[in-house]
Homo-oligomer: A and B are copies of this chain.
Amino acid sequence: MSRILVGIDLGATNIKIGCFDSDLKLLCKTSVPTRTDMSPEQLVETMGQTAEELLAENRMSAKDVAAVGIGAPGPSILDEGIIINSPNMPLFKNVPLRKMVGERFGTPAVLENDANAACWGEYVLGAGRDVNDMVFFTLGTGIGGGVIVDGKLVHGFADNAAELGHIIIYPNGRLCGCGQKGCAEAYASATSTAARAAEAVEAGQQSSLKKVLHENGRITSRDVYEHLAAGDSLARRITDQTAETLAILCINVLHATEPQRIVFAGGMIAAGDILLNRIRDFFDRHIWKMKKENVQICFATLGEDAGIIGAAALAKRAENPAKLHSKS
């Protein structure tokens, strides 16, 4: 075993680390909690030690690591491998993470935005493995995005492309955490779906979710979809707006880069077909009549491993720059 690729997914709660062979077959994986008070040096040392232990437990040597890929949140200068700042790590300011990780592992390293890394994972091995043009959404606390045009991740002029959750769907609508009003994220993330339900219950609307809010002190998007399945009419109205928002978001990205496939990922897709079919219904209702659209709207297939798979796939490209835009 001499060509191990390491994929790292730096998340708000966990650092996920996976080891892959050169065909991107997952050999082993682990995760350690992220601490928000970590310094960049502590984080990189944690990554290094955790990876070494994982390799040793699986009878591999750190010397066999060929390259490391990292998916990380926050604005970055990707070409230089620098994280400008991180929403969850207050000590991170202009951190040259790629260089630090490369030195710790003694290998080439590559830094990518976390949503882009997960998008690339789905593109290479998951729901987009047979297409060249894809758009990717993660439905979680926010709505993350990734755009692949002709086999390449779109990074944009200053590495801030594909902030698709902040496409404005309802001008002057709900305030988003980003400061805009009416963003898709303010309606259709898992968090916003749950928040709209809680607000409606608190405003006195009738719903079986009232008991949930009373007993648990909160409503989750999972609660909303469970009560939808049980026939609650408020849950229907709330989830219809989620699906309609996502459908219009699909139409808007379709008219921008015309992907062959639009892939939804993230915690909220656990809701299943009741969510996916409703997005497709609203898409059909709102889409133009100029031509029949054949874009495929589907769910991701790699689950939580998409980030480490994508990071490892990007590491493979870092190891061999000639393959920079190849899936293999």
Q: A180-B251, A251-B168 are in contact. Are A257 and B291 (CB under 8 A)?
A: no
Which of B157, B251, B291 has a CB less than 8 Å from the CB of A160? B291
A256 at the interface (CB under 8 A from B): yes
Q: A171-B244, A179-B289, A288-B179 are in contact. Are A255 and B166 (CB under 8 A)?
A: yes
Contact assessment for A256 and B157 in the assembled complex, using a CB-CB cutoff below 8 Å? no
A290 at the interface (CB under 8 A from B): yes
Contact assessment for A288 and B166 in the assembled complex, using a CB-CB cutoff below 8 Å? yes
Which residues of B have CB within 8 Å of A290? 75, 178-179
A129 at the interface (CB under 8 A from B): no
Chain A contact surface mostly: loop
Give Cα A290–Cα B84 distance, bound, in whole angstroms: 12
Give Cα A137–Cα B164 distance, bound, in whole angstroms: 20
Which residues of B have CB within 8 Å of A248? 168, 171
A216 at the interface (CB under 8 A from B): no
* Distance of A314 from chain B, by nearest CB (Å): 17
Binding site for B on A (CB under 8 A): 75, 131-133, 147, 149-150, 152, 154-164, 166-171, 176, 178-181, 244, 248, 251-253, 255-260, 286-291, 294-295
